[in-house]
Amino acid sequence: MPLPLPTSTSPNTQRTQRTHRQFSHAAAPTATEHLPHIVPDLLPYILAVVLGSVGGASGSSNDDDDSGSDSILNSDKSPLELYDTADAGVAVRARRDIRRGELLIAELPLLVWEEGMSAVELRRWTDALTDSARATLFSLSRRSDDTAIAAEMHDNTDESAPIRSANGFQLQLPDVALQVSSREGSGIVSDGDRNRNNKKNPNPTPTPPTHASFLFPHISRINHSCLPTCAQAMDWSTLRMEVYAMRDIPRGGEVTIEYLPGLVAMSSEPRKRKLKDTFGFECKCGLCSASLHTLHQSDSRRAELADASLSLADPHTQLDRQGMIGQLERIHSLLTLEGYTLVPEFTHNHVSRAYAVFRHLRSTHIADDSQSQSQSKV
């Protein structure tokens, strides 16, 4: 998964990017979760992330939350189920009516690894999987396209590589991970300690990882769409990836997520090319397979979105307060027209954050307004 970096808004609400696979018809997921199989070098960092995030702002999933941690596709409790599509293998849909904002699944990773590990290291690591974890892993689909990335991967003797590539998420680790002192797992130090250490030590500790790859066996079955119905976010305090409905989904409606950040400001051709280059698949989502007329309208909106976000990001534009709000309003109406319900991720992190705050304030303001109007009517 040699993917570009995600532009997250915060560690606990970090959007993700992932690779795509065509779903193969696989056995239903098991009803128990595996303990994550983490490469030894990464373990201290991942533990630091979890410890550093406990008690943080998220807390959206907890052990009492039936809709979250216990959710396994096709179990009675899950709002999600697998189904056969006519042309794209198995996909995920709503078992019942789903309300916007619902947490649909919160899942521990099966695997956590680093890109760039050698084939020998990876083989040794995957050989240590338990039988049931291995069975789960090998029940997932594998990348089979013939792009350069895939060809490189197939030179590898590691049989799990095309599966990891097709089903993994590459995530940016929260800053807390950077406070771990060494890859030998000696513990966690403060930034100050680390700086002192670096000044005195002629052989400073290796640069801590900024990213790691995660494979979530159930979430990996959810298809990509350029107009997704759901969004994923990592809760680092529990090491679970959560998927939320971003709109009401009727029973039987497909559950989709967006695999890459930044697609919202790309028109169809570069967007499809990027998906193809990165994951080796041809996007045939509802938008990408819409009529030329619809695609053309969408492309114009997305080009305008790119323009608006760039004007906010460009320090030379020197927008005044009114100008900024104007651009944010413009983004908002373009997204509404497009039917894009996620909090978008633009190339510049701070634009994404500014829009997220703007949208929140805007919805609060509208709610306040309608409340005061209804009160004045009374």
Stretch that binds Zn ion, among 47-55, 161-169, 232-240, 277-285 (CB under 5 A): 277-285
Q: Which of residues 222-261 bind Zn ion (CB under 5 A)?
A: 226
At closest approach, how far in Å is the CB of 3 from Zn ion? 17
Judged by CB, which is closer to Zn ion: 166, or 266? 266
For residues 331 and 324, the answer to whether their CB atoms sit within 8 Å is: no
Using alpha carbons, list the distances in angstroms from residue 252 to 19, 41, 44, 92, 302. 25, 42, 42, 9, 29
Judged by CB, which is closer to Zn ion: 113, or 279? 279
Judged by CB, which is closer to Zn ion: 285, or 328? 285
For residues 353 and 331, the answer to whether their CB atoms sit within 8 Å is: no
Site string for Zn ion, 198-227 (x = CB under 5 A): ----------------------------x-
Judged by CB, which is closer to Zn ion: 219, or 285? 285
Which of 38, 163, 288, 308 touches Zn ion by CB under 5 A?
A: 288
Count residues binding Zn ion (CB under 5 A).
4
Which of 283, 312, 342, 343 touches Zn ion by CB under 5 A?
A: 283
At closest approach, how far in Å is the CB of 305 from Zn ion? 16
Burial of 195 (0-12, 13-18, 19+ CB in 10 A): exposed
Distance CA 17, CA 3 (A): 8
Phi and psi at 308, nearest 5°, equal -65, -40
Judged by CB, which is closer to Zn ion: 15, or 194? 15
Stretch that binds Zn ion, among 125-133, 234-242, 275-283, 310-318 (CB under 5 A): 275-283
Q: Which residues bind Zn ion (CB under 5 A)?
A: 226, 283, 285, 288
